[in-house]
Every structure is written in structure tokens, then in C-alpha cells.
Amino acid sequence: MTTTLPELRFDSKPENIAVVEKLIDKISADHGIVAEHYGNVLIAMTEGVNNAIVHGNKLDEAKSVGVSCAIDEKTLVFRITDEGPGFDYDNLPDPTAPENIEKPHGRGVFLMRHLADECAFEDEGRIVELTFTNVLA
């Protein structure tokens, strides 16, 4: 049986990343995120929401970010949406390349792709869907 949580919507302010941290904690308390997967879920989601706030909506507080979650037995599927112009998610610089190691930005999508079991983009990058399988007790 799939449980769908109500969508959260919040203004594009960096401090609203705390809303997502609380959501992950609530899901963990209610559905039992396995301890060794908790960090991956938390980091991937905070990176995704940070990207939506900073890069998607350009910190425009008039624009909002949406986060929804579907829970099915041992799987979590999150959708993060923003109101920005989108981006070319298939042509991003490799943050592990020597010329990019020292750069302070550019690791969010890399982390999401490596920490989630699936990372998919829709609507020209305005929607990211992160799937975590076998993460619930």
C-alpha cells in the first residue's frame, strides 16, 4: 500500500531547508528509515531543496518550492519542484574533475545521483524525483 504525504510548499529561503530536515525526521520516526540510509536520504533531499531555492528560484521569496513524498513498503519517492527556468541537467561539469575540485558549487546533482537509487528530472529540470529503495525497516 502506498502512502502519499501532503505536499509541502514554502518560500525560497535557505532557512526553509529545515522544513525538509523535519520531514525526513518525521518519516524516519513514523516509517523507520534504516539508520545506514538515513544520511543518504537527508543529504540528497537537502541538496535537492537547496538547488531548487538557490539555483532554480534564485532566492526569489515570491517563488515557492514544493516537496512531496510517496511511501511504499520499503521505498521512498520524493518530488521537489521549483518555479525557475530549468537547467540542462545532462550537461553539468563533473565536480570530481581536477579543475572543479576547489569550486564551492556544483556538487548537488552529483550527490543526488549518487546517494539516491534513482534521480530523474522532468519539466526541463524544474522537477527532480528521488527514489530510495529498501530504506525502510
Q: What is the pLDDT of residues 38-92, one digit of tens each?
A: 999 999 999 999 999 999 999 999 999 999 999 999 999 999 999 999 999 999 9
Which CATH number does 2-132 carry?
A: 3.30.565.10
Helix, strand, or coil here: 103?
Answer: coil
Q: Are 5 and 79 in contact (CB under 8 A)?
A: no
CA 127/CA 89 separation, integer angstroms: 11
Distance CA 59, CA 14 (A): 8
pLDDT band of residue 106 (cuts 50, 70, 90) is confident
